Amino acid sequence: MELTLTRPDDWHLHLRDGDLLQAVLPHSASYFGRGIVMPNLKPPITTTSVAVAYRESILKALPSGSDFAPLMTLYMTDTTTPNEIKLARKSGVVFAVKLYPAGATTNSQDGVTNLFGNCLPVLEEMVEQNMPLLVHGEVTDPDIDVFDREKVFIDTILIPLIQRLPQLKVVMEHITTMDAVKFVESCKEGFVAATVTPQHLLLNRNSIFQGGLQPHNYCLPILKREIHRRAIVSAVTSGSKQFFLGTDSAPHERQKKECACGCAGIFNAPVALSLYAKVFEEAGVLDKLEAFTSFNGPDFYGLPRNTSKIKLKKTLWKVPETLSYPFGDIVPMFAGKTLEWQPFSD
């Protein structure tokens, strides 16, 4: 059995920089046409000029002959200006602005502390420039349980934001709850959408603890209960145009995952398409896979769909236990497991 798909894009991707960029970029570039590149480096990508420079470093790191296109984003801070949004739009290489609540995830310490108090003029300029806001949807109040942070963010930040600026395009990134599904579905198509990762479709919070602590299943937003996983699967496989592929592939060296204070992030770029196919096949809707992987994202961003194709073949293959590089090892998602779909680039 074989599927031919319009080449997918990854609408939420961490490529890192330096040696890690060189190591992980080929895995995404092999199968995806474009990738929305997250800006949470050290230091973060806060200006258009820095985004342009980061893009150049990605292009230089691409395998020979690859036509993968990095779509850059800016990291919103309390001091981002409306003029920076104008510069970003004019650049032709910055496609969105990312909101990290300060302290929410990896390298988010420079994020926004008060969205409405500090960033309203920037958000209004984003409406003018038709620049999407990409949201890490969690509050960071230490009094809020880590498993409730997405729901509280929806209630206290996202709903007021949409009410205040209904013309702002918003992507709720890497949704993890039934509450997020209901919120997105309640909003106007074309203005609010969500990316969905392989891990939040296939794993629940038991996966972090089964057989001992599993650091390579630890990500943020953290995995949730089975009831939430099922709700996300139902939304994604329903055919709704408001949900699209965003792997949130987030590589860390093995020693930074398997340590006393391990980093959050799952490196899924080598297996993502195989796992999305698994989800759609198990739901009996393989005919809806292409829209999720290849159509809904570019349509929301107002970009052309890719014209090239890739193939997914029904053939057993084993995920490597580790991927080794001169600087160390990276453990991919589902390491050592056998998968049933394998992608091949035309």
Question: Which amino acids are annotated catalytic?
Answer: 12, 14, 98, 136, 174, 248
- Element containing residue 99 per DSSP (H, E): strand 94-99
The dihedrals phi and psi of 105, each to the nearest 5 degrees, come to: -160, -165
- Residues 227, 306: Cα–Cα separation, whole Å: 34
Burial of 308 (0-12, 13-18, 19+ CB in 10 A): exposed
The dihedrals phi and psi of 71, each to the nearest 5 degrees, come to: -100, 115
- Residues 219, 200: Cα–Cα separation, whole Å: 10
Helix (H, G, I), strand (E, B) or coil at 204: coil
Residue with tokens 């035309």: 346
Question: With left for phi above 0 and alpha for psi between -120 and 50, is residue 302 left, alpha or beta?
Answer: left
Instruction: Starting at the earlier edge strand, list the strands of the sheet with 338-345.
Output: 2-6, 309-318, 338-345
Please answer whether residues 131 and 302 qualify as being in contact, where contact means their C-beta atoms are separated by less than 8 angstroms.
no
